[in-house]
Amino acid sequence: MALIIPKKYKQKLLPETTEIAIKTIKDTFQAKLSAALCLRRVTAPLFVLSGTGINDDLNGVEHAVSFNIACMDSRRAEVVHSLAKWKRMKLGAYDIAPGYGLYTDMNAIRTFEDLDNLHSLYVDQWDWEQTIRREDRNLDYLKSTVEKIYRALRETEAKIFADFPHITPRLPEKVTFVHSEELLQQYPDLSSKEREAKVAERYGAVFIIGIGNPLSNGEPHDGRAPDYDDWITLNEDGFYGLNGDLILWDNILEVPFELSSMGIRVSEESLKAQLAARGCEDRLQLNFHKALVNGELPYSIGGGIGQSRLCMYLLQKAHIGEVQASIWPEEQYELCRAKGILLM
């Protein structure tokens, strides 16, 4: 996505007040999320050892920032992309019962991102994971969880409106569910991102189910690594996938706004099938994958929710740099400043 400069953009809050509002959003939402999904907060690592299979591979092609550890015979460590697998291991280590889970503050560095209104080198999100029973691995449980998260979002938006009444709420009352294959059938001549834009603008908030498995045109809606979300299982609607993305419509930038990726995690069977589909069966020798296949990890559902993105959306900002301190190209910084978009 190229840098977008909205016409007639005006900040709703000055930078100093924005800092106060950011804290309000983060304090409010994580309390709402924790209560809605029965989650407890845990401390998470910034980096993990390479070669263990614990780090999130995202779309399977991105490279993590890595470094040698001098006092450990120069073993290699890498900054996490997210904590999808680490959280599932922690559920098992803490023996957390079904229906309960954990959340944490995840910080990452993604050097491969193209920097624009929504993308930064620095990623901060609430990573959460909940233990479930095998029989909970279904579409109804996924949708119910999404609806709980969405209610927490709307309640946080209401809190911001109470504190800053000139920031008018814009989230619709309900989130709409649609499968990526249904979108393809509705808009066969559009790209996946164009389809997202169409459905997000129509409904305001949409959860697109089925991210990772090839659709009827032979292409996946978007990429997913093969070893955390389950995208290969045939669900009750007759489509593939027990995962998805929560997309909002941002009427300031006039673009679809991805806030969260989440899903029911792979079972022993779906892990093997997805690794085979991607030609990654060698990963079965890694620690995480061996533990999962051996039945040593609980079934779970989980995801990540962007902290800076949520602040940007609820405070109706035009650039993620207005709510997050990071590094931006000098020309982008100057162009934004000239248009009244003040980057931290």
Catalytic machinery residues? 56, 110, 125, 245, 258, 261
The Cα angle at residue 294 between residues 289 and 295, in degrees rounded to 5: 105
Name the token pair of 32. Answer: 């709402």
Instruction: Estimate the crossing angle of helix 307-314 against helix 15-37, to 10 degrees.
Output: 120
CA 80 – CA 97 distance, rounded (Å): 26
**HEC states along the chain?**
CCCCCCCCCCCCCCHHHHHHHHHHHHHHHHHHHHHHHCEEECCCCCEEECCCCCCCCCCCCCCCCEEEEHHHCCEEEEECCCCHHHHHHHHHHCCCCCCCEEEEEEEEECCCCCCCCCCCCEEEEEEEEEECCHHHCCHHHHHHHHHHHHHHHHHHHHHHHHHCCCCCCCCCCCCEEEEHHHHHHHCCCCCHHHHHHHHHHHHCEEEEECCCCECCCCCECCCCCCCCECCCCECCCCCECCEEEEEEEECCCCEEEEEEEEEEECCHHHHHHHHHHHCCHHHHHCHHHHHHHCCCCCCEEEEEEEHHHHHHHHCCCCCHHHCCCCCCCHHHHHHHHHCCCCCC
Cβ atoms of 56 and 81 within 8 Å: the answer is: yes
